[in-house]
Structure 1
Amino acid sequence: MNRRPESVVSVLPRTLRRAGMTVNDVHKRLKEMVIVYRIKPGERVNEGELAEELDVSRTPLREALHRLVAENMLTLVPNRGFYGRQLERQEVFDLYELRGAIELASVNLALQRAPHDDVVLARDAWLDVMQHTAAMSTYQLLEADEQFHLSIAQLSGNQEIVKSLQAVNARIHYFRWSDLEGKSKAMEDEHLALLDALLRRDAPLCRDVISGHVAHRMEDIVQFIQHSVVRLYAGHL
């Protein structure tokens, strides 16, 4: 009886199997884990387990971990290792406030620069999303909301604004579950109102809509954190 051939991957030396995963790839995978709190706040990163799970050597893994420290997404404790970063309520509040400033800058520039046809396309895309929101999970709504705001940032024509918004979104992603729950209809209407105002180049209305849409009080932030921590340790991702 002929022996079943082994897979190509299984017969390659481990160093070659790992060669396909670049530091950028490892960084992206780890960042996704941090964003959805696969690595919990205060939890020590087990480098051995991560290297095994991602099938990479320690060198690219550690370089990717150091990048996440530089991005304020992990903490490095000397002689102890890497840890999931704890976010204090003031820091989360500051991040929400920064997000609001970035969103307002996006809208102000989009009012000046965005081609009419591009705004029409953005509006059509959002109308298409609205056809499906009733069947979306909170996670899917969050993804749709983040993509909407990134599309407004793209309309600003400033790629640094786009990158800054992506960075802030990554750091508050998990807390925004609580932010969006039960608010699907309000979110849909506010997004559409913003695009309609942008089409008319109605600057005061654009600014009013975006300011009201992203503004939060400290009390809201505390509630988001408490709700998110309960969800996190209950395993509800």
Structure 2
Amino acid sequence: MSKQLSNVDRVYEALRQMAADFAFKPDQRINESELSKLLGASRTPLREALNRLVAEGFLTFQNNRGFFCRSLTPKYILDLYEARVAIECEALRLACRRAKDHEITALGDYLEQIEPDYESGSDPAEQLAMDEAFHLRLAQLSGNDELGRMLRNLNDRIRYIRLIDLKRLRDKTGKRVPGELSAHSRIFLALSGRDPAAAEAAMRGHIEKRREAATEAVQIAFSQLYVPQD
């Protein structure tokens, strides 16, 4: 049983990464036979992994047709951004009330730690990882594990588009466009002041600013997924 479980987990992790990176094109039907050969997995663990990804929103299932990659449309991305706003604002509101002083101090130390990498124009993927880590730390301060779990799921489903958007923000020298870290600082200052209204306003403005660029980011994503790159 443990061997079977570990095999399911192995297949699941591989498929989850493929789905997150759009290794399957949007709305593409999943060829289970090819996947079975590619991953060296039998039908049972493959099906279990695929069903888990349907439950998590990475894939869809149609009766009598099979599994499909999730869609990639401006509405889909906007829906994810709206969900992210709701989750993060609630988590931050709770954090203002529940977080311990030493936990808030630790978050401030983390911001100081990552500042040099932000300012030096670090790799976009690394910068996105730091951004996600900051927001997850905030969610954890809420004391609500479910909010953190939902945020991690959203991060994985929206990461592909966020990375494209982040690359667009770079200036011609390859450095980041100023503003991202200062937005985090405004959120942190409101949190450290235990001001839920100010914290929510800062968080909402931070996320919604990038949501407005979703349509263009989706268009770029399609060009990358369907047009061969040099």
TM over 0.5, shorter chain: yes
2:142 maps to 1:126? no
2:42 maps to 1:75? no
Query: Matched residues, percent identical?
Result: 37
Moved more, 133-142 or 221-230: 133-142
Instruction: Give the counterpart of 2:198 among 180, 194, 205.
Output: 205
The number of residue pairs the alignment matches comes to 219
Contact 1:51 1:58 in 2 (8 A): yes
Contact 1:122 1:151 in 2 (8 A): yes
Q: Shift in Å at residue 36 of structure 1?
A: 1.0
The letter of the residue matching 2:83 is L
The letter of the residue matching 2:7 is T
**Larger Rg over CA atoms:** 1
2:72 maps to 1:87? yes
1:161 matched to which residue of 2?
147
Residues 118-155 of structure 1: CA deviation (Å, up to 9, x unaligned): 11111211221222233422222222211111110001
Contact 1:177 1:228 in 2 (8 A): no
Contact 1:22 1:60 in 2 (8 A): yes
The letter of the residue matching 2:192 is L
Distance in 1 separating the partners of 2:100 and 2:22: 38
1:230 matched to which residue of 2?
223
> Secondary structure in 2 aligned to 1:215?
helix
Q: Shift in Å at residue 107 of structure 1?
A: 0.8
Cα 1:219–1:121, aligned 2, differ >3 Å: closer, same or farther? closer
Residues 92-134 of structure 1: CA deviation (Å, up to 9, x unaligned): 2122111001110011001000111111111211221222233
Query: Which structure 1 residue ranges, 5 or more long, are not aligned?
Result: 1-17
1:54 matched to which residue of 2?
39
The letter of the residue matching 1:66 is N
> Secondary structure in 2 aligned to 1:175?
helix
Query: Which structure 2 residue ranges, 5 or more long, are not aligned?
Result: 171-175
Which TM-score applies when normalising by structure 1?
Answer: 0.82
Distance in 1 separating the partners of 2:88 and 2:212: 21
The letter of the residue matching 1:177 is L
Q: Note the 1:1-237 alignment, pairs <5 A.
A: 21-133=6-118, 134-181=120-167, 182=169, 184=176, 185-216=178-209, 220-234=213-227
Residues 51-73 of structure 1: CA deviation (Å, up to 9, x unaligned): 23322222101111012122221
Aligned-residue RMSD, C-alpha = 2.3
Moved more, 197-206 or 62-71: 197-206
Cα 1:79–1:207, aligned 2, differ >3 Å: closer, same or farther? closer
Cα 1:40–1:81, aligned 2, differ >3 Å: closer, same or farther? same
